[in-house]
Structure formats: structure tokens, C-alpha cells
Structure 1
Amino acid sequence: MAAFTVRPLDTSTWEAFALLVEENNGVWGGCWCMGFHVRVGKGRTPAQNRADKHQRVRDGRTHAALVFDGERCAGWCQFGSPAELPEIKSRRRYDKDLIALPDWRVTCMFTGKGQRRRGVADAALGGALAEIARLGGGTVEGYPEETDDRTLSGSFLHTGPMAAFENHGFTRTRPLSPHRWVVTRTVAPA
């Protein structure tokens, strides 16, 4: 596994983040990692998503752990409060069995082309959990995809692979679909 460094997404790391997104076609067709902040799709352009993400970074209203291989951003793990990241997939199924909202959500993971299968997702999730601890800790939820019995394109793993979450101490709480779960973990404050 490569030796990576992890830094938070902020104004000092925006350019490295933006370069990775641009090199990967805006990520998932121009989402710019906005899909859990607001509903993306019809009526929203990649340029609008980029501008909105950049404004959120300047305002301190978005969180991500960026993984660096030297000076280049290789990937990230987005996290935030439910108020910051209100849009989740399978909302009806999620709400049906909801007992209490978590303090934090881990919603999106991305690894750039040529960087996959090197431990970027694992480093990104570990970095996100360290940032959550630094920010006070609490209950953390993720929504990973189970991949043990099938092969998937990376585009289907935008919420992360189950193995990465289980390696970081998350437990399966309830299913959201045949292959996606709500997983939880409590993180102590740093």
C-alpha cells in the first residue's frame, strides 16, 4: 500500500480537489460531489455544481478527507452532518426504520483513475473518521455497497465498499437495498 497523506478539503486544498474532479469528467457526469448536498440532475449544470461546491468550501459548509499521493489528490471521502448532507439514496427505505439521525454521515467516496486498488478509499475513510473525532466525534453512519459476491464498476461504489467500512469498525445496522446497508460506528472526540 502506498504512503498517503490525508488533509481536509478547505481553501488551501481546493485546487488539488478541483484538478482531480476535472481530470475525471466532473465525477459522475458533473456532480462535483454535490449530490448529497442538493438534488443534482435536471436543471443543474456541472458548472453550477462546481461553483456551489467551491462556495461551500469557502464558507466551511462542506467536509471531506482528501487523500494525497505526494502533491496530487488521489481521492476523497465526504462527510458531514445530516443538515449539511440531507440527500441520501433510498430515502423512503431509510426513513421507514429510522430511530434517530446520526451526528455525521459518510456519503461519498471517490478514487481517481489510475489510483484504484491502492488503498485510497481506506485512507480516505480513516481520514474522515479522524476529522470527525477532531470535530467532536459522535455517531457516524455510512451507506456502503456490498461487493463480496459480485464485481462492480467503481461508478456503483460512490457510497464506498462495505469492506472499507467494516475494516474501520462499522457494523451493519439495517439494509437499504439488496446490496446496500446503513452501517454505524461511534467515534470518540479527539
Structure 2
Amino acid sequence: MSDDLVVRPLTEETWDAFAALVERHNGIFGGCWCIWFHPDCAERGQGYDGNRALKRRLVEEGKAHAALVMDGDRAVAWCEYGTPEELPNIHHRKEYDARGEPPPDYRLTCIFIDKAYRRRGLTRIALNGALDLIAQQGGGVVEGYPQDLSDGRRVGNSFLYNSTRALYERAGFSYEGPKGKNHTVMRRTVTSKAAVPD
């Protein structure tokens, strides 16, 4: 890993690097291509190739967003984010909706790290990268749904698709309440800042 990790947004220009990361990990969780949180449509859930095509289309249409952590030209991590309209499908949705809280401006729904780069602090870099990109897009209330491991439990990576409560707290998020078994609702307001030209 170089010392020159940078964060870039997921766009048509960075699609190939993102796709290579997903392909190195067999489509991530069972070939999902990180489309589970997107709206239902005919392509969603149609296997590896269908999910890939859907993700690419959403990126091309500007409806799928992520902060990509880049090591040179290689994407090595991401944090998916978007509006509730772009990412309506969250786990424990019925329980979440029963809270009656106003929706956030943005959601963070998935954080993934290349298996060759884990335990090197990239989760924090990806999370902060997403917050920076959200700030450049005008900021607002940002919500995430990490696991609460304050009891000392250890869980597998598939259960840590949105990292841990402790990481979110270090990133300035406040605990809003539980969501499902061991998951939480965390919120932070991100201030708008002008995009920095490339």
C-alpha cells in the first residue's frame, strides 16, 4: 500500500477501478454488486451480471454514489452513500419507519475494504471520504447504520457491511437509537463546502 491514498467519487471515469475491486471479490456478498439498497426494479436481484449492469446504469445516470479509496489506479475500498430516494432499502425498514423520524438528507449504506488492505485504517478513510463528498454536494443530515459491538462481541465482515458504532462516534456521529439486532441509527450534520477543483 502506498502512502498516497486518495478518495475519488464513483463516476463513469472511475467505474473500471470500482468494477475491478468488486470482481476481485466475486461480486462482493454473493454477487450483489452493492445494489441491495437501491430501489426495486426488474434488473435488481437478477444475478451477478444483472446486478453489475444495474449498478453501471445507476452510476451512468448519477443515481449511485460512493467514495472510492484509490491506491494509484487501483480502488481498494468504498463507502456507498446516497439520498433516501436513491437508497430506500435498508435492513429493519419496518422498525426504522415506526420511529417516525424525519428522513436524513443522505444515507451511508455499505463500506467495503479489499481483503488485501484490511486492518489498515481504510474504513475510516472511506467513511470520511463519503462525508467530504457529501459536503461538496451541499451537506446535510447524514445517517448510518453500524453494528454496536460495545459488549465486546466479534462478528464476521458480512455483518459489518456498515462498520461499527465506535467508528461512527469517532467520526462525529451521534447515537439515535437501535435498529434490529445489534444495529444502530447514527446521525451527523455535515456542513456544506465548495468542491475543490481537480
Q: Considering the TM-score relative to the shorter chain, is it more than 0.5? A: yes
**Counterpart in the other structure of 2:182:** 179
Deviation, structure 1 residue 117 = 0.7
Count, aligned residues: 190
1:11-160 to 2 correspondence within 5 Å? 11-38=12-39, 44-148=46-150, 149-160=152-163
Task: Work out the CA distance in 1 between the residues paired with 2:4 and 2:98.
Answer: 42
Q: 1:23 & 1:178 partners in 2: Cα distance?
A: 30
Deviations along 1:70-94, one digit per CA (max 9) or x if unpaired, are 2211110000000000100001110
Amino acid corresponding to residue 109 of structure 1 in structure 2? I
The aligned amino acid for 2:104 is: P
Amino acid at match of 2:169: E
Q: How many Å separate the matches in 2 of 1:78 and 1:42?
A: 17
- One-letter identity of the residue aligned with 2:65: H
Contact 1:36 1:107 in 2 (8 A): yes
Q: Is the 8 A contact 1:125 1:164 kept in 2?
A: no
Q: Does 1:189 align with 2:189?
A: no
Q: Give TM-score scaled by structure 1 length.
A: 0.94
Match in the other structure for 1:164 = 167
| Deviation, structure 1 residue 177 | 2.5
Q: What 5-or-longer segments of structure 1 have no aligned partner?
A: none
Once residues 39 and 114 of structure 1 are traced to their aligned partners in structure 2, the CA distance between those partners, rounded to angstroms, is: 32
**C-alpha RMSD over aligned residues:** 1.8
Unaligned segments of structure 2, at least 5 residues: 194-198
Runs of 4+ that moved beyond 3 A: 38-43
Indicate the SS of the match to 1:93.
helix
